[in-house]
Structure 1
């Protein structure tokens, strides 16, 4: 995965489990509809040097994005009941591992920590949790897109609302000459999306790197919290105790197998 170097991005390094939790849950929570809701989504990575790069960018074939999605639709045997926009297909494709311009996030800081610490083979290197202010990102949307979100009464888009704004990726990209980022909640295709408390982001340019776009804003809309290698085993134990495991986040026999494999391959901490 490409490395990242954005000196303008705030980077914090906790030294204890308590500091780590305080930092993850430190952002102010505005009150909406009589409840407190965070404006922040999180993404955990096993290596602190990794940036926020989409899967189609990692593939190195951004120019084939349309071909990938077209052929996914052609050969898919699990079509939607209705196919009014690209967004249902793009979400389904991302969920099943097709390289796309979508980036996965979660509303849960603990779920993000799971993805930063799940690979025990990488416990000798620092991980990271990136946190992005999606509400502030939406304040920078083109007028017609921002107005559609405001009229919906929500703070994040849905695939249906995106379909109303622009039913195709080509029309989405043409809405404004400057790239903009949208965060949307995927439909509950299965328990994995529900249990991971998922959020997706998408830029109006498949070539634009999410970390570069978020860091370029004034002020930057993203923060990187480093999970020191020395803390990873303890963090992993605390997450397991809280039932933030593969068994829960990837329901089914595959997740169960991943959980047991990690559990029995982890060296003792003492």
Structure 2
């Protein structure tokens, strides 16, 4: 039995061992799991909103506020300004701009958001851990995060049934209570603007007051009356990877139709795939060239 708030870490010597582990342990109907790939295992489960807020604090050190306060203010200002820009530029009609999930829409175009993107496929998560030739190259340690969606839903239920009623008289107003003990919302609505979500078998977790998923999990589970389980809520699967192994695994994923072209079904994805495929082609022993004039 382990504490529900602990991150269970498992290490593999190489991506080949991890690839085998996927089919043996992660393809299952016993639990509903989500996966997220990181090119560097030291990266935390932080949102782009958190990272943007940290940049603001570093650039404006005279702002004597906590990171939590800056993040809250930043979120409100980003949302307000982005919606206003969409309306002013006629990118979306006002009723549409004010009714859609603005964070899902904005993150698609690079807006810092309180969302973390996940995939229901461990193979797609593995692709993202290995796909960036700059961030993923070398012998750095990669990782795949695994989240147990069933347990997250149970935790959310316990928060609303047990934690909120217990602290409702101690923490006021109720908005502050919900900020201190937030639900971890899972979002995966398919919308016309985000075809990538469907192709990547994707969904999002939404994060508010706490700066990373790991911190939220520790904080919430610490007040549970029964925090032990034989199933981890969060796992971190790490593996070392050299450049040759990285390209070989990407070649294998490509044969499974997991590549930039299929995961990003737009012109950007076509460009990314052309670059990546060309880069990987130079691992061949010889470079084949074809010339019309040589045969005439």
Q: Give the TM interval when normalised to the shorter protein.
A: 0.7 to 0.9
* Alignment of 1:64 onto 2:79: no
* Alignment of 1:209 onto 2:196: no
Task: Name the SS of the counterpart of 2:197 in structure 1.
Answer: helix
Partner Cα separation in structure 2 for residue 215 and residue 225 of structure 1: 19
Equivalent residue, structure 2, for 1:109: 122
Partner Cα separation in structure 1 for residue 275 and residue 120 of structure 2: 26
* Alignment of 1:44 onto 2:57: no
In the alignment, which of 260, 263, 266 is matched to residue 246 of structure 1?
Answer: 260
* Alignment of 1:236 onto 2:240: no
Query: With CA pairs under 8 Å and 6+ residues apart, which has the higher RCO, 1 or 2?
Result: 2
Map 1:174-213; keep pairs closer than 5 Å: 175=178, 177-188=180-191, 189-205=193-209, 207-213=210-216
Map 1:34-183; keep pairs closer than 5 Å: 38-59=31-52, 60=54, 61=56, 62=71, 63-76=73-86, 77-79=91-93, 82=96, 88-121=101-134, 122-124=136-138, 125-142=140-157, 175=178, 177-183=180-186
Which stretch of the first structure deviates more once superposed, 236-245 or 88-97? Answer: 88-97
In the alignment, which of 5, 12, 15 is matched to residue 14 of structure 1?
Answer: 12
Per-residue displacement from partner, 1:205-242 (whole Å, max 9, x unpaired)?
A: 2x431132245644551111113213322211111121
Instruction: Tell me the C-alpha RMSD between the 2 structures.
Output: 3.1
Map 1:28-39; keep pairs closer than 5 Å: 29-30=28-29, 38-39=31-32
Task: Name the SS of the counterpart of 1:78 in structure 2.
Answer: coil
1:30 to partner: Cα distance = 4.3
CA change 1:250–1:83 in 2 (3 A) is closer
Task: Identify unmatched segments of 5+ residues in structure 1.
Answer: 1-6, 32-37, 147-169
CA change 1:239–1:172 in 2 (3 A) is farther
Per-residue displacement from partner, 1:66-100 (whole Å, max 9, x unpaired)?
A: 00011111111225755676x61122112221101
Equivalent residue, structure 1, for 2:276: 262
Task: Name the SS of the counterpart of 1:50 in structure 2.
Answer: coil
CA change 1:241–1:193 in 2 (3 A) is same
Partner Cα separation in structure 2 for residue 171 and residue 243 of structure 1: 48
Partner Cα separation in structure 2 for residue 67 and residue 142 of structure 1: 31
Per-residue displacement from partner, 1:120-168 (whole Å, max 9, x unpaired)?
A: 233212211101112201211156968xxxxxxxxxxxxxxxxxxxxxx
CA change 1:80–1:103 in 2 (3 A) is farther
Partner Cα separation in structure 2 for residue 265 and residue 172 of structure 1: 51
Partner Cα separation in structure 2 for residue 135 and residue 172 of structure 1: 26
Partner Cα separation in structure 2 for residue 269 and residue 132 of structure 1: 37
1:180 to partner: Cα distance = 2.8
Checking the alignment, whether the CA contact within 8 Å between 1:46 and 1:116 is kept in structure 2 is yes
Choose 1 or 2 for highest CA Rg. 2
